[in-house]
Amino acid sequence: QSALTQPPSVSGSPGQSVTISCTGTSSDVVSYNRVSWYQQPPGTAPKLIIYEVINRPSGVPARFSGSESGNTASLTISGLQAEDEADYYCSSYTSSSILLFGGGTKLTVL
């Protein structure tokens, strides 16, 4: 089964930008419109922040953006704020109609 790899942790200071990567082990995992991103502050349920690689649901700040290149999807958070400190998970929809999650990345705002 394909997997999604994320860095365990990233950090940045307020106002800076950080990028979290999500790399698939096969080409069908990170492709087309299959990738979504979720934010999970401590003690809360995850929340959708990016879907179909680049789209933001209503209410999600434009500071959050998604992109994709080859087998890697990325989430960029610009103008970091203290409230952005959370765990972030990527997810991909495989050709077998299965959802995969990455291992998660802990974002620390310094």
Half-sphere exposure of 88 (CA within 13 A, CB side): 31
Among the listed ranges 9-17, 20-28, 73-81, 102-110, the one in contact with other proteins (CB under 8 A) is 102-110
The amino acid sitting at 46 is P
Q: Interface mask (CB under 8 A) for other proteins, residues 15-34, using x and -?
A: -----------------xxx
Closest to 73 measured CA to CA, from 104, 26, 33, 35:
35
Identify any residues that bridge with 35 across adjacent strands, giving them in sequence order. Answer: 92
Instruction: Using the rule CB under 8 A, give the single segment among 19-27, 48-56, 61-69, 75-83 that binds other proteins.
Output: 48-56
Residue 87 beta carbon to other proteins: minimum distance, rounded to whole angstroms: 8
Sign of CA dihedral 12, 56, 5, 30: negative
Does 98 sit near other proteins (CB under 8 A)?
yes
Q: How far apart are CA 68 and CA 7, in angstroms?
A: 16
Q: How far is the CB of 98 from other proteins (least distance, A)?
A: 6
Query: Two tokens at 12?
Result: 């940045």
Rule CB under 8 A: say whether 61 interacts with other proteins: no
Residue from 18, 22, 51, 65 binding other proteins (CB under 8 A): 51
Any idea which residue has 């995992």 for tokens? 29
Residues near other proteins, by CB under 8 A: 1, 32-34, 36, 38, 45-48, 51-52, 57, 89, 91, 93, 97-104
